[in-house]
Chains A and B, each alone.
Chain A
Amino acid sequence: MASISMRSLVKTYGDFTVIPGLDLEIADHEFVVLVGPSGCGKSTLLRVLAGLERINGGDLYIGDDRVNDVPAARRDIAMVFQDYALYPHMTVRQNMAFALEMRGMDKAEIETRVKRAAGLLHIEDFLDRRPKALSGGQRQRVAMGRAIVRDPRVFLFDEPLSNLDAKLRAQVRAEIKALSQQLRTTMVFVTHDQVEAMTMADRIVIMKSGIIQQVGSPEDVYERPANLFVAGFIGSPAMNVLPVTVAGDRLVLSNARSVQIASLGSKRPAALIEGATVDLGIRPEHFEVAPDDPNAIAVTVDLVEPLGSDTLIHFKLAEINAIARVSPDLRPKPGDSLSLSPVPGKIHLFERETGEVIR
């Protein structure tokens, strides 16, 4: 139970700078999810927090303590490693009990905690096996169990559910969420899974090349992405991005000026200059099928992907591929034409050069 404070934190490997200077405050009890493309420094940041990597600049506080020089063993942090890192010579039970033993907890209490964690993760049946006799998903749950038996100041999870099947993943996800509300321990959770990020996080941190792009609640980063990168990273399928030109209170496709794609309405941002070219972002779910709307865009369906709960329609807008998410009742065929219009108020505008949002 502790806050975490990173101040101008720098991490380099030789000449290679992974984190060029990062500021982030994580509140006590907060559940923070770290997302970003592969190689952006998520694991590195967790290792820095755990004390497995020395920082090359800046300060790191856990609670009120400056821990720059505090070794991992004395930081009181529990971590699930991306590659599990189980103790091969110990049984599952011993793996989970090890950290508690190191802290001198009494046997009965250890046993209770191991039992409870094993139940939560559905690994009671192989408590007496060695890691090599487990499947990948089972190993991952043991790695998870080794962390959650503890009562640390901070939990660090590095993609802890990546190897589980969909059903188990949903179950364990719900259990971690419940656990975090029950234990009220600060958690930092790395994932590539959009659903995990959106459902578990109090706040999401989106990173790219070691630089934080945006920090915000799931609603925040989804509804108000700070830049094109975040817009494209959060949400699946990704947001459609179209180059448009400002013409009065209308936005027309830059390479097909006859097509009006949206109107700005009354909330026109001051930064928008007449005739400027900007990037327009529309999420697939923010297209409406509007056969009667005279301003709707007529598109030709290229491909239909029925997902069950809804249907994805692929089409082209002036040579640019775009996707709309529509009701599953609608079953157009490739070649059909469809009238789509963006949901008013749900469009995003980004500066051409910087990719920053225009508000």
Chain B
Amino acid sequence: MSDAAPSDRSLQILNTVLLVLAGCVVMVPTLWMVASSFKQSFEVTAYPPTIIFTPTLDNYVALSETTPFLHYAFNSMIVTMASTALGLILGAPAAFVASWTRITWPAIVTLVARMAPGTLFLLPWYVMFRQVDMIGSYWSLILTHAVITMPIVIWVLIPFFDNIPRSVYEAAQVDGCSPARVFWRIALPLVTAGLAVSAILAFVFSWNYFLFALVLSNSDTKTLIAASFNFIGEGSTNWGALMAAATLIALPPLILAVIVQRWLISGLTLGAVKG
């Protein structure tokens, strides 16, 4: 850093300040949540908050004893993984075709669908699934969540596909690839970073989306995030247990991000063309 030009110094300082600020906004509530989950109930709401305390697993024990927490977690996993997979399976080819043909209006339609508030879909979805008697099934949740995951996948992947030099596709065609094979053998391996990013985002959005689950699931298929709303307001709220639940809910997306980040290398298309 010492070899930076003098004029860059103020930029560096600004950079550091912004990083610290962003860190505070993100990290303080997270740390507070995690810390609270290990506190005794009375400490959680104590003011001023206790910094030094004896950690306890009481909240976690209470959580697993009073709720079918693992079952909800399992539901969440099923719905989230399936809807993420569905989003990728539908979204990746769609993004490829949108990028190749430069026809993006269908992608924009999906984006508009994504932007619209979920309540807009809720009623039609509900009526439809009611008619085919699918309320409370995993499929009703997986399909509705794909409405959230697919546009994410499409819009994350389009710029990745756009980055692949056109002549690479053309070379593949000349080499005898059908469009499907160009997608499978050439385009897809070149956007693994995009797949990783879109998978994480889709996973997180689906994992955290509660509205559809609230209405379309039953007590058997309820997802974690929907179930956690039951923890609030049942008489007196058990803040400690709620913090423990929140911590556990936050864990899978975090783990996923760590696992997937090794695919987040850029520059994969380097060397294709002249330079």
Contact with B along A21-60 (1 / 0, CB 8 A): 0000000000000000000000000010011100000000
Q: Report whether B273 and A84 are in contact in the complex, using a CB–CB cutoff of 8 Å.
A: yes
Taking the complex as formed, is B102 at the interface, i.e. its CB lies under 8 A from any CB of chain A?
A: no
Select the residue from A78, A102, A130 with max chain B CB neighbours within 10 A: A102
Q: Report whether B170 and A87 are in contact in the complex, using a CB–CB cutoff of 8 Å.
A: no
A83 to B185, CA, bound (A): 20
Taking the complex as formed, is A222 at the interface, i.e. its CB lies under 8 A from any CB of chain B?
A: no
Q: With a CB–CB cut-off of 8 A, which chain B residues contact A276? A: none
Q: Shortest Cβ distance from A47 into chain B, in angstroms?
A: 8
**Given A84-B274, A88-B168, A89-B190: A72 touches B268 (CB 8 Å cut-off):** no
Q: Report whether A84 and B272 are in contact in the complex, using a CB–CB cutoff of 8 Å.
A: yes
Name which of A132-140, A252-260, A265-273, A284-292 contacts chain B.
Answer: A132-140
Q: Which partner residue on chain B sits nearest A139 by CB separation?
A: B271
Taking the complex as formed, is B175 at the interface, i.e. its CB lies under 8 A from any CB of chain A?
A: yes
Q: With a CB–CB cut-off of 8 A, which chain B residues contact A76? A: 176
Q: Please tell me which one of the listed residues A84, A88, A134, A163 contacts residue B190 in the complex, with CB atoms under 8 A apart.
A: A88
Q: Shortest Cβ distance from B196 into chain A, in angstroms?
A: 15
Q: Report whether B272 and A86 are in contact in the complex, using a CB–CB cutoff of 8 Å.
A: yes
Number of interface residues of B (CB under 8 A): 26
A85 to B172, CA, bound (A): 9
Select the residue from A51, A85, A131, A133 with max chain B CB neighbours within 10 A: A85
Select the residue from B171, B173, B178, B273 with max chain A CB neighbours within 10 A: B171
**Given A88-B269, A88-B272, A89-B189: A81 touches B178 (CB 8 Å cut-off):** no
Q: Please tell me which one of the listed residues A75, A81, A98, A131 contacts residue B167 in the complex, with CB atoms under 8 A apart.
A: A81
**Given A79-B171, A81-B167, A81-B171: A88 touches B270 (CB 8 Å cut-off):** yes
Per CB-CB distance, the 8 closest pairs between chain A and chain B, nearest first, are A132-B271, A131-B271, A99-B175, A85-B167, A102-B176, A85-B171, A72-B173, A132-B270
Binding site for A on B (CB under 8 A): 165, 167-168, 170-178, 181, 185-186, 189-190, 267-275
| Interface pairs (10), CB distance under 8 Å | A76-B176, A83-B167, A83-B273, A85-B167, A86-B168, A86-B273, A88-B270, A103-B176, A139-B274, A146-B175
